Amino acid sequence: MDYDSNNIFARILRGELPCVELYEDEGTYAFMDIMPRADGHHLVIPKTAARNILDASRDQLTACMHTVQKLSRAAVRAFNADGVTLQQFSEAAGGQEVFHLHFHILPRRDGVELRPPGIMADTAVLREQATRIVDALN
Ligand code: AMP
């Protein structure tokens, strides 16, 4: 399958759509998920085009995994979490809805189930949560 350069995350990377930004480095970008399934649920993406895990390069995956670990540690500190769940969906059959490679980071507390998908968050709440994660990066 080809990469569609008009997918939502490509448009966020180009600054054409807003997001609640968390982190950026040479190869990766991270922002809050607008339909979070846990407090602090956020996404890490490569800055360059990759549809999903099936076409990503070694360099894209390496860059993403470094950022995923950095942000997982920060999110666990920020939310006093007991653990973290990572999710990655590839192709529609695998559950993918946005066709730019992304990794979900979900801080988890013992005994707390994930919320159902598809519920939009309040942007002010996402901003407050992003501030907590960014503060925990430092
Ligand atoms: P999936 O491709 O199945 O991993 O699902 C895409 C994820 O992106 C879902 O968790 C959505 O809530 C999230 N999402 C979709 N649009 C946006 C957006 N504009 N900003 C942040 N997250 C988004």
Q: Which pLDDT band holds residue 111 (cuts at 50, 70, 90)?
A: very high
pLDDT at 25: 98
User: Considering 41, 42, 100, 102, which one is annotated as catalytic?
Assistant: 102
Q: Mind listing the pLDDT tens digit for each residue in 29-84?
A: 999 999 999 999 999 999 999 999 999 999 999 999 999 999 999 999 999 999 99
Q: Which of 89, 108, 95, 101 is nearest to 36 (CA)?
A: 108
Report which residue type is found at 102.
Answer: H
CA distance 107 to 77: 9
C-alpha of residue 111 to centroid of ligand 1, in Å? 25
Rounded distance between C-alpha atoms, residue 75 and residue 104, angstroms: 12
pLDDT of residue 32: 98
Element holding 44 (H helix, E strand): strand 42-46
**For the segment 83-104, what is each residue's pLDDT rounded down to a tens digit?**
999 999 999 999 999 999 999 9
Q: Is the pLDDT confidence value at 12 over 90? A: yes
Structure confidence at residue 45 (pLDDT): 99
| CA 122 to ligand 1 centroid distance, Å | 15
Which mutation among 34, 91, 105, 123 tests ligand 1's pocket best, with the greatest number of atoms within 8 A of CB?
34
pLDDT of amino acid 137: 96
Q: Quick one: pLDDT at residue 86?
A: 98
Mean pLDDT calculated for residue range 3-19? 98
Distance 72 CA to ligand 1 centre (A): 18
What b/e sequence results for 98-129 when a residue is b if at least 16 CB atoms lie within 10 Å of its CB, and e otherwise?
ebbbbbbbbbbeeeeeeeeeeeebeeeebeeb
The CB of 119 under 6 Å from ligand 1? The reply is: no
Assign 138 a pLDDT band (cuts: 50, 70, 90): confident
Does 1 score more than 90 pLDDT? no
